Homo-oligomer: A and B are copies of this chain.
C-alpha cells in the first residue's frame, strides 16, 4: 500500500454503516475505519448508522468516538452497528441524503456487498443531483464472494475455511457410519454463486475423497444425474457426501427447492417445506435410491464462526476499512476499495480502488475456469492463502492394519 504524504483535515463529519448479512470479520473493517480516522489530528466527528440501509433511511445515527479502543471488534462476529436488509426506494435514497445534510456529514462509507455498492452509487448521485458535496467510498464485504473487480471479498475466506473444515469432518464421521447411514447432503450459503460450495473440496486429496459431488448455481442441476452419481459412489465406496449451494437452479433457471415444493415432491400434500434445497435432495435420494440420507445445513455459522476465522481475512478486512478512511480523507469519492493479488506463494496483496459503477449491483459468478476439468486444483491453489492447514488425518482403514 502506498503511504500518503500527509494527513489532511476532514471538511465535515463522517458516517459509516454495515449493510446486509454480517460476516465473521465485518467488525474488523469497522475497527480499521475508526482507527484510521482517529489518526487525523483534527478529531473528526464520526457517526455510526445503526441497522444498515433501513436505519440509514430512518436516520438512526449515533455518535462514535473515532480512535477509541475498538480492538475488541476484531474478534466479534455479527455487525456491531446492526446491519439488516432493505430495498431502497427513490424516496429512501433522498431521505438518506437529507439525514446526511442534517448532520453535516460529508464522508460516508458503507460496508456491504454488490447491492450495497449500488446503494452507495445511488446516494452519491442523489447528493450530486441535490447539490450537496458528498464523498462516498464502499467497503466490500460478503461471504458469497460475488463482487466484481476485487480478488475476493473480505468475509469469504473465513466462510470458505469453515465450509472446508466442516465438510471434511462430516465426511470422516459419515465414512465411519456407512453401515447405518450412507449419504449426507450438505447445504452451503452463497446465494446465486458457487464459490463457497466449491471450497468444500479444499481438503480433497484422492479421487474417492469427499465431497463426491458438488452442485453450484452456475451449472443447471439435473436430478437424474445426481441420483446416478450418488448411487455409483455409494456402490463403490459405501457412502457419499454431496455438497449443494442454497441457490441451486434447474435447466430453466428456476430454484430447485421452490420447484420441489411446488410440484409436491417435498411432501404429498403440497405443504410448505421446512428446509431448503438440501432437504429436498436428501428426501429424494432416500425415496429414489432407498439409502439412509441425512440433510445437514451448515447454517449461519458459515458467516459468523469466530473459531475458524482466517488470519488473512481478518487482516484484509481491517485493511480495507482503513483504506476507505484514507481515501475519504484524500478527497476520493465514487469508488469501492478492492483487493489485488500480487503473488501466490508466498501470497501477496495490495489495496486499490474501483469506480462504483463497475461493481454496483453486478453479481460475480464462480470463475468458469474453476468449473472446467481439472479446474479444482487451480481453485484450491487460489484458496490456499485463506485456509491454513488441516490436521493430518486421512480416512484410511488400511493404515491401522
Chain A positions within 8 Å of B, measured between CB atoms, are: 18, 21-22, 24, 34, 48, 50-52, 54-55, 62-65, 68, 70, 72-73, 75-85, 165-166, 168-170, 172-180, 184, 266-275, 279, 283, 294-297, 299-301, 303-308, 390-395, 397, 399-401
Contact = CB atoms under 8 A, between A and B. Distances in A.
A274 B266 contact: yes
A64 B76 CA distance: 46
Given A170-B304, A172-B78, A305-B166, A83 B177 contact: yes
Contacts of A84: 177-180
21 contacts: A21-B177, A24-B169, A55-B179, A64-B400, A65-B401, A70-B399, A76-B391, A76-B394, A78-B173, A78-B395, A79-B177, A82-B397, A83-B177, A169-B304, A169-B306, A172-B304, A173-B304, A269-B270, A273-B274, A274-B275, A306-B390
A297 B297 contact: yes
Contacts of A170: 300-301, 304
B401 A64 contact: yes
A394 B63 contact: no
B65 A400 contact: yes
A72 B399 contact: yes
B296 A300 contact: yes
Given A64-B401, A169-B305, A283-B274, A54 B179 contact: yes
Contacts of A307: 165, 169, 307-308
B85 A180 contact: yes
A250 B221 CA distance: 42
Most chain B CB inside 10 Å of its own CB: which residue of A79, A180, A395: A180
Contacts of A63: 401
A84 B78 CA distance: 38
A16 to B, nearest CB: 10
Contacts of A172: 76-78, 304, 306
B22 A78 contact: no
A199 to B, nearest CB: 15
A317 to B, nearest CB: 15
A167 to B, nearest CB: 10
Contact of A303 (B173, B270, B272, B305): B173
A29 to B, nearest CB: 14
A76 B395 CA distance: 8
A22 B173 contact: yes
A273 B273 CA distance: 8
Given A176-B83, A401-B62, A72 B392 contact: yes
B393 A76 contact: yes
9 smallest beta-carbon distances between A and B, as pairs: A269-B269, A267-B271, A76-B393, A75-B391, A78-B172, A78-B176, A79-B176, A173-B304, A84-B179
A303 to B, nearest CB: 7
